[in-house]
A and B are shown apart, each in its own frame.
Chain A
Amino acid sequence: MAVTPPAGTAPLNVEALRKDFPLLTRTVHGRPIVYLDSASSALQPRSVIDAMTAYYETTHANVHRGVYATAEAATALYERARVVAGRFIGAPSPAHEIVFTKNTTESLNLVAHSWGRANLRAGDAILLTEMEHHANIVPWMILSEEIGGLDIRYIPIDGDGRLALDDLDALVDGVKLVGISAMSNVLGTIPPVARVAEAAHRAGAIVVVDGAQLVPHAPVDVTALGADFLAFSAHKTMGPTGIGVLWGRAALLDAMGPFLGGGGMILDVKLDSFRPAPPPARFEAGTPPIAEAVGLTAAIQYLSDIGIDRIRAHELALTNHALARLDEKLGADCRVFGPPAGPDRGGVMSLAYRDVHAHDLAQVLDQFGVCVRPGHHCAKPLMRKLGVQATARASLSLFSDEHDIEVLIEGLLEAGRLFG
């Protein structure tokens, strides 16, 4: 899906926005922090931190239990977060279809557990992509082991790091489920999810979308994407850690068994049996992340007030600028994986610089205050395909600017000098 922002989108006032993030005021090794690791976890604006503090100071109580005023208020805030999160991704029926989990990983595990167990049998085929995060591979492998073997197939990637879709109809033929990341956390690739979903549906498969990277950075509409399930994490969306979102089509959720068992997910329990509650409660056993839901509401509010399309436009322009600057200053010494600058690319840049190992690059960059992530980014099948052990990944945010890119380049040059 090419996410091209509407023409004439007003540019962001990055300098003013940076003031919203308390963490950006700190220094690291005597230098201002240059945070280029939002793909791993985003920073929080003051409004998110304040909302959570205010919640704890004025409202906290367990939800769906007490009848006293604060318990009612806490329950209302928690349920409001569901609606806010659902509207953010265009869910047709947010109050019913949004399940809160711990993170994207748990959301995807929930689908594999509850939908997978009820709908997949030994020998069934599912289709993933070569650029999936482990979170959208391993749960399916665990299920496969449990039920006696799934036929797990993969959509390959081409030399530019895009999905190779020439044989899409053959690939989806006979599969029951397609799992696809809406944006690669390694390559930045934004694949045409809607096109894949259409082919999947024609073949009778359901479509599970890993939205961990796309939802925080571009407008997402589950209906336009053709998703049946979509997962994302609050902490990558400028919200707190500890809460994730699973959206599922109501008809699918209704037909699924529970995930974890315990309080909150039942209608009735007898000594020898239980009856599960309807969704979304069916999938939310135990006391949920209430303050985190309040934080998520504030985060989505923050992004929506700025405008997610403007954020996308800013990050797209800065990605194009960064790719050009890296090429200009470092040339062939610096390899950036993934598609060339363009509308099907998000602000994630996995770098290899000369022969310097990613770990060493990241260590040198740290001395410049630059936060990047070294490693395999939980996508080992993809790293093998790329033929690298590790990359140093720089990822952009709405508060990233051209100066950040210059400091990154300064640090890379120093690493080259040290290890040259």
Chain B
Amino acid sequence: MADLEELYREIILDHYRSPRNRGELDSPPAHRVEGFNPLCGDEVVISMLVEDGKVADLKIAGSGCSISQSSASLMSAAVKGKPVGEVRQLISTFKGMMSIHEAALEHDHDGDGSDEPVEIDLDKLGELAALQGVVKFPVRIKCATLSWNALAQGLDEVAAEVS
């Protein structure tokens, strides 16, 4: 079961069993955004308070599989209190890690394996790197990125409101 252990690492199971920043913030003032995976019915609800260019607070609600829920929990721990710019960077680094698999397939169209794989700095991801086992299970990538896409959408919506 080596593959399984790579997917369900201890950190992931820990965040699944004891999710961080669970709940909802009053909205308003918090901004509320929902992510939904129509394939498996996984749901995530993020409420976030963006103040002084920072994600001052955020909470996660919803339900779903271990990958979608632990990814949301890990995300909440990683972005809470961080400047919006840094959060956006983290989103793109995380999504980069999740797309290594697809990117590698796309880049190697000639099939000789010569194309360079995309470089992702896993050090920047900290605990989030535990989710990299997911890329071996392409169907589950959507579970892992569900909350991240919702977060990105939420940040965009907040920015649009402000401007």
B59-67, B79-87, B151-159 - the one binding chain A? B59-67
A376 to B42, CA, bound (A): 10
A359 interface contact, C-beta 8 A: yes
With both chains docked as a complex, state the minimum distance between the C-beta of A57 and any C-beta of chain B, in angstroms. 29
Residue in contact with B63 in the complex, picked from A367, A380, A389, A414, CB distance below 8 Å: A389
A390 to B41, CA, bound (A): 7
A203 interface contact, C-beta 8 A: no
The verdict on A389 contacting B64 (CB below 8 Å), with A359-B40, A359-B140, A363-B140 known, is yes
A418 interface contact, C-beta 8 A: yes
Contacts of B13 in A (CB 8 A): 418-419
Residue of A nearest to B16 (CB): A419
Among A360, A367, A383, A419, max chain B CB count under 10 A is at A360
B1-9, B19-27, B91-99 - the one binding chain A? B1-9
Residue in contact with B66 in the complex, picked from A376, A389, A419, CB distance below 8 Å: A419
The verdict on A363 contacting B40 (CB below 8 Å), with A389-B63, A419-B13 known, is no
Residue in contact with B1 in the complex, picked from A357, A358, A367, CB distance below 8 Å: A367
Contacts of A289 in B (CB 8 A): none
Contacts of A364 in B (CB 8 A): 4
B39 interface contact, C-beta 8 A: yes
A357 touches B4 (CB 8 A): no
Contacts of A358 in B (CB 8 A): 40, 65
A418 touches B67 (CB 8 A): no
**Count, chain A residues at interface, CB 8 A:** 18
A375 interface contact, C-beta 8 A: yes
Interface residues on B, range: 20 to 34
A29 interface contact, C-beta 8 A: yes
Residue in contact with B8 in the complex, picked from A29, A375, A376, A418, CB distance below 8 Å: A418
B3 touches A357 (CB 8 A): no
With both chains docked as a complex, state the minimum distance between the C-beta of A303 and any C-beta of chain B, in angstroms. 31
With both chains docked as a complex, state the minimum distance between the C-beta of B94 and any C-beta of chain A, in angstroms. 20
A375 touches B140 (CB 8 A): no
Contacts of B42 in A (CB 8 A): 359, 389
Contacts of A389 in B (CB 8 A): 40-43, 63-64
Chain A interface main SS type: helix
With both chains docked as a complex, state the minimum distance between the C-beta of A14 and any C-beta of chain B, in angstroms. 29
Residue in contact with A367 in the complex, picked from B3, B40, B67, CB distance below 8 Å: B3
Residue in contact with A363 in the complex, picked from B7, B16, B41, B64, CB distance below 8 Å: B7
A364 to B8, CA, bound (A): 10
Contacts of A414 in B (CB 8 A): 1
Contacts of B40 in A (CB 8 A): 358-359, 374-376, 389-390
Contact digits for A376-394, partner B, Cβ 8 Å, 1 yes 0 no:
1000100100000110000
Contacts of A357 in B (CB 8 A): 64-66
Contact digits for B122-155, partner A, Cβ 8 Å, 1 yes 0 no:
0000000000000001001001000000000000
Contacts of B7 in A (CB 8 A): 363
Residue in contact with A29 in the complex, picked from B3, B67, B143, CB distance below 8 Å: B3
B4 touches A383 (CB 8 A): no
Contact digits for B39-64, partner A, Cβ 8 Å, 1 yes 0 no:
11111000000000000000000011
A383 to B67, CA, bound (A): 21
A390 to B137, CA, bound (A): 19
A418 touches B41 (CB 8 A): no
Residue of B nearest to A389 (CB): B41
Contacts of B3 in A (CB 8 A): 29, 367
A359 touches B65 (CB 8 A): yes
A418 to B10, CA, bound (A): 10
With both chains docked as a complex, state the minimum distance between the C-beta of A374 and any C-beta of chain B, in angstroms. 6
Identify the B interface with A (CB < 8 A): 1, 3-4, 7-8, 13, 16, 39-43, 63-67, 137, 140, 143
- The contact sample of 28 A-B pairs, CB cut-off 8 A, is A357-B64, A357-B66, A359-B40, A359-B64, A359-B66, A359-B67, A359-B143, A360-B8, A360-B65, A363-B137, A364-B4, A367-B1, A367-B3, A375-B39, A375-B41, A376-B40, A376-B41, A380-B41, A383-B41, A389-B40, A389-B42, A389-B43, A389-B64, A390-B40, A414-B1, A418-B13, A419-B16, A419-B66
Extra contacts, 8 of them, besides A360-B66, A419-B16 (Cβ < 8 A), are: A359-B67, A363-B137, A363-B140, A374-B40, A375-B39, A380-B41, A389-B42, A418-B4
